[in-house]
């Protein structure tokens, strides 16, 4: 007798059936602003120990990417940024932000 049959294992076991509920990542935003006024968007269930305390997490729901989660966070708070660890593709380094905020300011034009 075949071992797989004897233990009742079939090749389809352990394959999640996800057609009804697509496994989209779930995002939260920190209710507390960073020093520069940004609210950080995190992946819920991040393994990077970067999540704010549970009471400070505001639900953003499930998104197919951090870009749309960030859009929701900006609706809530005006300023938001992706976490440098768990939403790195949406993270804008703060020096880049400040150079965008002051385009060509005081470039020796006197």
**Binding flag, residue 46, Zn ion (CB under 5 A):** yes
Q: Following DSSP, what letter does each residue of 29-50 receive, concatenated?
A: EESS--TTSPEEEEETT-SSS-
84 DSSP 8-state letter:
T
Number of residues that bind Zn ion (CB under 5 A): 6
**Binding flag, residue 69, Zn ion (CB under 5 A):** no
Look up residue 4 and give its two tokens: 């797989």
- Which residue has tokens 């768990």? 86
> Least distance to Zn ion from the beta carbon of 106, Å?
35
> Least distance to Zn ion from the beta carbon of 51, Å?
6
Quote the CA–CA distance of 96 and 88 in Å, as a whole number.
Answer: 14
Residue in 31, 36, 28, 30 with CA at minimum distance from that of residue 93: 36
**Binding flag, residue 86, Zn ion (CB under 5 A):** yes
Q: Which of 66, 70, 83, 90 binds Zn ion (CB under 5 A)?
A: 83
> Least distance to Zn ion from the beta carbon of 86, Å?
3
Residues engaged in binding Zn ion (CB under 5 A):
42, 46, 50, 83, 85-86
């Amino acid at each position: 007798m075949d071992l797989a049959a004897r233990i009742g294992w079939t090749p389809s076991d352990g394959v999640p059936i996800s057609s009804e509920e697509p496994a989209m990542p779930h995002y939260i935003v920190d209710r507390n602003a960073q020093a520069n006024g940004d609210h950080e968007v995190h992946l819920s269930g991040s393994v990077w120990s970067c999540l704010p305390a549970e009471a400070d997490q505001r639900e953003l729901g499930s998104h197919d990417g951090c870009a749309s989660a960030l859009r929701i966070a900006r609706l809530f708070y005006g300023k938001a940024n992706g976490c440098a660890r768990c939403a790195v593709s949406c993270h804008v380094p703060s020096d880049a932000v400040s150079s965008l905020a002051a385009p060509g300011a005081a470039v020796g034009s006197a």
